[in-house]
């Protein structure tokens, strides 16, 4: 077929890079059906599916792929989405096989070397028995390139500066600027905000709200030489509680391990001076983590981010919709971010496509999507808010499958919290078990509840991801490559 090459995957359109010659004259907005702000998993999923549906889609990404991003652990519920996009095998080729999640036993010195593994194959009606750990730079670049092949006018290094709303409340014009400083304007019929934590629409309309129930902050980097679990558990994510929060260890390709800590704000506010030293002190304070990191070397910058949890008061309005982190972000203890982004992208593509065809249904479609999103988020949030409490620690240290409750928890860890009534019913039973356990552990349960309330009121400034120190201990600036590796000594 004309225009197709040997490298063009079957069933996709040839690459369609932006063609400046095809843009309108300066000062004239470029008309399109949908403008997607952001080229991450949410934006690329939305744009791809809308383009497949025959819409003229423009996607604007402020950075240039590949670019660093945290959130490297996918969930089994990502796998059907990747299959529908036609990318499952390509992601398999760049990922580490993840068959489950392990949670080390904490608070019981006699079991300090034990950990419980929750394999995805034991979920209720599993859609997939595995997921992948991926370097987000490679994963996001793959999704973005795929969207372009599907016919999306996908542009990099274009930052949206403002959305001009008409008297009817609908976006009339989107103003942006490219890397050379040239002003660009677009006139879309619909805007999808997939800008992540930038929340372009949420900030402009004043919709973003700090989560008053849960606050956390994170510090993290990449290492080489960190010990992995044995056998089939080698690709598992490890989530380990400690006094001031929890730590993750995520195996990545090429022998790299993503290691970081999500901490209570008052702990991270103690950071003074060298950020990389603070990270290492935090990790080495945990014997189980320190043992796995003996002889490891840091091969990336140290990153710090605060104000982790937030939500916007609305998901959509006339002619616009927010998806993924642009709408809400929750503590990543269960690795839900990429799945929520891509699942939201599928939902957004369906809503926007139908709204363009049947404008009278727009409000009802958006309302249904928002109800579904909030229903699923509530199940993640309930566990997240209580994850570091003595009661949850006890239940994860001693898992039991009475009434298939453990299997339902594994389904939650797999991301199956939206449309599976059997899982949702058993998660409600788990809440009852939690309440009864709280009564049995009343003094420690009360202390945990009071601490959670206190931490939720702590303010931590630093709303966007930024780099800390490079591997040589020098504070790194954005765009600065990581210097040579530093050996980690116990």
H-state helical runs in 358-420: 362-386, 390-397, 405-414
Strands 328-329 and 310-312: antiparallel
Query: From CA 78, how far away is CA 88, in angstroms rounded?
Result: 9
Count: domains in the chain: 1
Exposed, middle or buried: residue 228 (CB in 10 Å: 0-12, 13-18, 19+)?
A: middle
- Residue-range definition of the domain harbouring residue 362: 20-72+136-211+310-371
Say if CB 232 and CB 99 are below 8 A apart: yes
Say if CB 377 and CB 391 are below 8 A apart: no
Which DSSP helix (H) or strand (E) runs through 204?
helix 200-204
| Of 78, 332, 60, 301, the residue nearest 198 (C-alpha) | 60
Which DSSP helix (H) or strand (E) runs through 439?
helix 421-440
Flag whether 65 is in a domain. Answer: yes
Rounded to 5°, the CA angle 224-87-341 comes to: 75
Flag whether 100 is in a domain. Answer: no
- CATH, residue 350: 3.50.50.60
Q: What is the pLDDT of residue 307?
A: 56
Using the structure block, give the residue that is written with the tokens 């001031």.
244
Say if CB 344 and CB 366 are below 8 A apart: no
Q: What is the pLDDT of residue 113?
A: 82
Flag whether 278 is in a domain. Answer: no
| Of 298, 216, 214, the residue nearest 259 (C-alpha) | 298
Flag whether 145 is in a domain. Answer: yes
Q: What is the pLDDT of residue 451?
A: 67
pLDDT tens string for the chain (490 positions)? 333 333 333 333 333 444 544 566 666 899 999 999 999 999 999 999 999 999 999 999 999 999 988 899 999 999 999 999 999 999 999 999 999 999 999 888 888 788 999 999 999 999 999 999 999 999 999 999 999 999 999 999 999 999 999 999 999 999 999 999 999 999 999 999 999 989 999 999 999 987 777 777 788 999 999 999 999 999 999 999 998 889 999 999 999 999 999 888 778 777 766 788 999 999 999 999 999 999 999 999 998 876 567 889 999 999 999 999 999 988 788 889 999 999 999 999 999 999 999 999 999 999 999 999 999 888 998 998 888 888 999 999 999 999 999 999 999 999 999 999 999 999 999 999 999 999 988 877 777 767 666 666 666 554 333 444 444 333 333 333 333 333 444 3
Flag whether 198 is in a domain. Answer: yes
* Cα four-point dihedral sign 220, 225, 227, 229: positive
DSSP 433: H
Query: From CA 381, how far away is CA 213, in angstroms rounded?
Result: 10
Using the structure block, give the residue that is written with the tokens 């056998």.
231
Q: Which two tokens stand for residue 200?
A: 């372009």
Strands 320-322 and 183-193: parallel
Q: What is the pLDDT of residue 457?
A: 62
Flag whether 349 is in a domain. Answer: yes
Q: How far is CA 150 from CA 23, 52, 245, 381, in A?
A: 19, 7, 42, 35
Query: From CA 344, how far away is CA 336, in angstroms rounded?
Result: 12
Angle between helices 337-357 and 362-386 (to 10 degrees): 170
Flag whether 435 is in a domain. Answer: no
| Of 150, 135, 200, the residue nearest 9 (C-alpha) | 150
Q: What is the pLDDT of residue 276?
A: 87
Q: What is the pLDDT of residue 458?
A: 62
Q: Which two tokens stand for residue 57?
A: 């889609």
355 contacts: CB under 8 Å, gap ≥ 6:
190, 361, 362, 365, 366
| Of 216, 200, 220, the residue nearest 208 (C-alpha) | 200
Q: How far is CA 442 from CA 188, 245, 390, 434, 438, in A?
A: 56, 21, 10, 12, 5
462 contacts: CB under 8 Å, gap ≥ 6:
217, 304, 305, 306, 307
Say if CB 143 and CB 423 are below 8 A apart: no
Flag whether 256 is in a domain. Answer: no
């Amino acid at each position: 077929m004309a225009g197709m090459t040997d490298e063009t995957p079957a069933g996709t359109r040839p690459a369609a890079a932006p063609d400046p010659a095809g843009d309108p004259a300066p000062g004239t907005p470029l008309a399109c059906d949908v403008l997607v702000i952001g080229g991450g998993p949410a934006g690329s999923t939305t744009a791809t599916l809308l383009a497949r549906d025959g819409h003229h889609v423009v996607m604007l990404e402020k950075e240039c792929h590949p670019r660093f991003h945290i959130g490297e652990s996918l969930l089994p519920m990502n796998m059907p989405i990747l299959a529908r996009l036609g990318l499952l095998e390509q992601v398999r080729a760049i990922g580490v096989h993840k068959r489950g999640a392990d949670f080390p036993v904490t608070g019981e010195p006699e079991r300090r070397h034990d950990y419980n593994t929750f394999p995805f194959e034991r979920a209720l009606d599993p859609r997939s028995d595995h997921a992948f750990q991926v370097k987000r730079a490679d994963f996001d670049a793959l999704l973005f390139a795929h969207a372009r092949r599907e016919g999306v006018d996908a542009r990099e290094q274009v930052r949206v500066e403002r959305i001009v709303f008409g008297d009817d409340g609908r976006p009339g014009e989107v103003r942006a600027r490219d890397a050379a400083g040239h002003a660009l304007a677009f006139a879309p019929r619909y805007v999808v905000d997939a800008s992540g934590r930038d929340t372009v629409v949420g900030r402009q309309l004043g919709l973003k709200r700090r989560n008053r129930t849960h606050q956390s902050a994170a510090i993290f980097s990449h290492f080489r030489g960190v010990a992995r679990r044995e056998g089939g558990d080698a690709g598992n994510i490890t989530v380990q509680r400690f006094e001031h929060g929890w730590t993750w260890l995520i195996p990545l390709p090429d022998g790299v391990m993503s290691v970081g800590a999500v901490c209570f704000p008052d702990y991270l506010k103690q950071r003074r001076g060298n950020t990389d030293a603070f990270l290492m002190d935090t990790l080495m304070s945990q014997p189980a983590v320190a043992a796995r990191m003996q002889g490891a070397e840091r091969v990336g910058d140290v990153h710090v981010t605060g104000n982790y949890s937030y939500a916007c008061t609305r998901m959509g309005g006339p002619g616009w919709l927010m998806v993924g982190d642009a709408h809400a972000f929750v503590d990543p203890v269960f690795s839900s971010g990429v799945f929520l982004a891509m699942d939201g992208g599928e939902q957004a593509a369906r809503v926007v496509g139908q709204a363009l065809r049947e404008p009278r249904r727009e409000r009802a479609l958006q309302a249904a999507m928002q109800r579904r999103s909030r229903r699923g988020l509530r199940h993640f949030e309930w566990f997240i808010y209580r994850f570091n409490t003595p009661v949850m620690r006890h239940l994860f240290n001693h898992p039991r499958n009475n009434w298939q409750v453990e299997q339902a928890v594994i389904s939650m860890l797999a991301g199956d919290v939206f449309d599976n009534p059997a899982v949702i019913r058993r998660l409600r039973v788990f809440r009852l078990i939690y309440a009864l356990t709280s009564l049995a552990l009343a003094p420690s349960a009360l202390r945990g509840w009071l601490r959670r309330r206190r931490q939720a009121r702590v303010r931590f400034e630093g709303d966007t991801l930024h780099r800390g120190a490079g591997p040589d201990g020098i504070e790194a600036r954005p765009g600065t490559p990581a210097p040579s590796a530093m050996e980690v000594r116990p």
